[in-house]
Amino acid sequence: MIVCGKNGVMEALRSNQKIFDVWILKNHLQKLEEEVVMLAKKKNLKINFVEKAFLDKITKNSHHQGYALNAEDFKYCEIEDIISFADQKGEPPFVVILDGVEDPHNLGSIIRVCECAGVHGIIIPKRNACEVNQTVSKTSAGAISYMKIARVANLNQAIEKLKKNGLWIYGVELGGEDFYEQNLKGPIALIIGSEGYGTKSLVKKNCDKILTIPMFGKVNSLNASVACGISVFEIVRQRRK
């Protein structure tokens, strides 16, 4: 997988991800370049200084900022790995489930938000949803290197597995109870629906409760990544009390 941009390249080099090639724009003299070179040397990687046309081609004209690398494809985890990670940290599990998010920019933004909020893992479906790709990696600004993501065949079965592990399942949708009036300190999974259709009816039925972010304008819907950001940081706020 091609990773590009300052943050993405830096975090990939800092992570345990296997990397094959590193490219930096010729004559791209910035302080950051020295750190990239240092990190690459620690991994015994050769730095290739290349022309802009080369970077434009391999990154498909993405905003690479003069940095790119070729890394192994993203490795998905199992739901059990997410639960174990929370246990290792001594924290109640904090999971985000994405029900059919298709826009790679939304997925990348959600990964970034979740990593910043300390979410232990994200669950996505295998069908009718975006998978981790170059655009997702770039939009996540390096967060993809640290986020556990499970890709499952059936979301409802995944929800049942989480319930057996003691998690409460909350759908973030219109028509539910006020999000800010809930106690969200325990083991929890939030479900964020797709950009166009929201949460599927069967998935919604499997929720313990539907919660709604109160809104006061004329537009009554939020972008998926924005709704996720508001929701996860309300949980962060409550857990810090």
Give 90-149 as a DSSP string: TS--EEEEEES---HHHHHHHHHHHHHHT--EEEEESSSSPPP-HHHHHHTTTGGGT--E
Q: What pLDDT, on a 0 to 100 scale, did the predictor assign at position 62?
A: 74
> Residue 37 and residue 32: Cα distance in Å, rounded?
9
Answer for the pair 195, 101: CB distance below 8 angstroms, yes or no. Answer: yes
Among the listed residues 188, 195, 194, 187, the one whose alpha carbon sits nearest the alpha carbon of residue 211: 188
As a CATH number, domain 2-71 is 3.30.1330.30
- pTM exceeds 0.75 for this model: yes
Burial (0-12, 13-18, 19+ Cβ within 10 Å), 140? buried
Could you tell me the residue ranges of all domains in the chain?
2-71, 79-239
CA angle 83, 11, 226 (to 5 degrees): 65
pLDDT in tens, 45-90: 988 999 999 999 998 877 888 899 999 999 999 999 999 999 999 9
- Judge if 2-71 and 79-239 fold alike in CATH terms: no
Nearest to 189 by CA among 159, 166, 169: 169
Span 179-217, pLDDT tens digits:
999 999 999 999 999 888 889 999 999 999 999 999 988
Which residues lie below 8 Å from residue 99, measured CB to CB, with a gap of 6+? 125, 155, 191, 192, 193, 194, 198, 199, 200, 203
CATH topology of domain 79-239: Alpha/beta knot (3.40.1280)
